[in-house]
Chains A and B, each alone.
Chain A
């Protein structure tokens, strides 16, 4: 077709009826691989359940009639002042102050998930932006930022967190910021490394020769290509943040009682676990399961985003098909 034809718009009519073909994006392919990963999908289901019950925690408090800080004087503690184990009134028993373990654990899930997700989100955003600038601009900016990352990574962070919190006082916001502050550096380092290699790609040069701004090149050309490792790292950062929050709360520098968090519940349990195992097992079990499922999902995402795993899947499919064919043959012969 000629240009004049094109400009007169004669081809428009011919263009319209043709159906559009949807492209299979790398993300879509990764998602398909992820959906085949049983461990990751089960983990994902567990996470959904956790999120739902955490969101519905006030509803549980309403149903049972026990607020998270309500000390049940009648049925919370026995005559000797010891907590009750799981029973029909308190499904997961009570703690040393006669508070309902179930409601407190679910409220604890709210804290854990909130801290885990928000701290990771802040750390990821900061790490990505700093990593991109550092890697893309290079030179003095890179030297300063990269050294700063090294400094942050070399901090003994628990000690630093303890020192910081003892100065500004513990709170949910401080907990989130402290965790974010110690996690962004690893993200920044990964993004910087990727950016360094990606900015030499010809498509970056092409964008530059078109007159694209630095901002556009960083966020449209480079960012989509570093997103895979970023997502993997972020998904593995969430359980780290959750454990970190529990640690801070455990030593009394995270979530302030009476607001329950798994960390301060575990800390409370230290006084009672010899007579009341459930005070220890329940929050510890939730913490364990939560970090486990996040890690499993993170692993699954990493496998799904790694193009090399496609070959493994393909081999597996081929093997499955072959086995099915053989079975068919066997049944046919019989």
Chain B
């Protein structure tokens, strides 16, 4: 196929730079009904054609509302969910839906940090044994050597190595997340997918974990895919940011570009929803309140997925799906999927009278 050949050539050209490449990745979950003979009645379009690149050593932020498919995408990258279609390449090699045995070597390179520090650690196992799991599974180190390595890891993430024999219940939320980080680091992975690693933590603890992740990145040359719904956190950690809406990428750009000149109306709405520490600025800022709810991913809207809620939507948006490409003379890395991108200084709220002067949502 010429299409594949072209992407192959593209992959080869940028091989040094790109660690992970997603090519039109689709993940649908079938909804089945029937007692004995189950038949598919519908499918949830969790991820619906996402193409992204993650460059070596960078942090790619992935933001979006709950249910936009960002966690599903993360699990596709780590191989926890087989993808419905599309291609995932890691380090130049196709890892799409590899059988378990052939996926094994890549599991060492791709690790994951989970959202819930309480759910991601087995309450019945000792911390030392949990962190030692990667060594045990991949047969890397055994006995005293494994213990030494685990204790080194514990020290690396700021835990006391003497707590080796403790149980997860004997740690606080932040400490537990450190345990999760240590486990992810054990095999010296190239890529760590962080699935909302701080959203279950206290704000003060969030900063600690984020700083830890950043320090580790500097020290070990890690690449992160950082998922969050807190825009200020993403802004702080990310080199590039991708905004997802209903299983699709709405906009992707270098972090300063995205925050400085958001093109997609959805990005604008998201940014306006974030809180600002300065009360006066907060007062003056316009807040875009989106009308309606996120449509069901079982039956997503035709055309642009965002058009039923978009203040700038026109007839064309309901028919033609916008491609993800640079708009309005943006630099090459800044892509937005919108027919009518937002220009600088444009006030979106006024269009629909949907502006709410900072007093919060009413409906």
Contact = CB atoms under 8 A, between A and B. Distances in A.
B86 interface: no
Contact of A224 (B122, B148, B164, B165): B122
Interface in B112-159: 112, 114-116, 119-127, 133-134, 137-138, 148, 151-152, 155-156
Interface in B85-104: 100, 103-104
B257 to A, nearest CB: 32
Given A207-B133, A210-B133, A211-B137, A202 B152 contact: no
Given A21-B162, A22-B165, A202-B115, A210 B134 contact: yes
Given A3-B156, A21-B165, A209-B80, A202 B120 contact: yes
Contacts, number: 104
Contact of A216 (B108, B137, B156): B137
Contacts of B39: none
B119 A11 contact: no
Q: How large is the interface on A (under 10, 10 to 19, 20 to 34, 35 or more residues)?
A: 20 to 34
Interface stretch (A23-31, A187-195, A236-244, A321-329): A23-31
A209 B107 contact: yes
Interface stretch (A12-20, A125-133, A149-157): A12-20
B267 interface: no
A73 B220 CA distance: 89
B127 A23 contact: yes
Given A26-B124, A225-B122, A11 B155 contact: yes
Contact of B166 (A2, A23, A203, A210): A23
A208 interface: yes
A189 to B, nearest CB: 19
Q: How large is the interface on B (under 10, 10 to 19, 20 to 34, 35 or more residues)?
A: 35 or more
A91 B140 CA distance: 66
Nearest to B165: A23
A221 B121 CA distance: 10
A206 interface: yes
B111 interface: yes
A168 interface: no
A169 interface: no
B169 A26 contact: yes
With most chain B CB atoms within 10 A of its CB, the pick from A1, A3, A18 is: A3
Contacts of A20: 162, 164-165
Given A211-B104, A212-B137, A221-B122, A3 B167 contact: no
A227 B122 CA distance: 13
Contact of B124 (A2, A11, A213, A224): A224
A316 interface: no
Interface in A233-278: none
B285 interface: no
Contacts of B127: 23
A18 B137 contact: no
A72 interface: no
Contacts of A2: 219
Interface of B: 75, 78-80, 100, 103-104, 107-108, 110-112, 114-116, 119-127, 133-134, 137-138, 148, 151-152, 155-156, 160-167, 169-170, 180, 183, 219-220
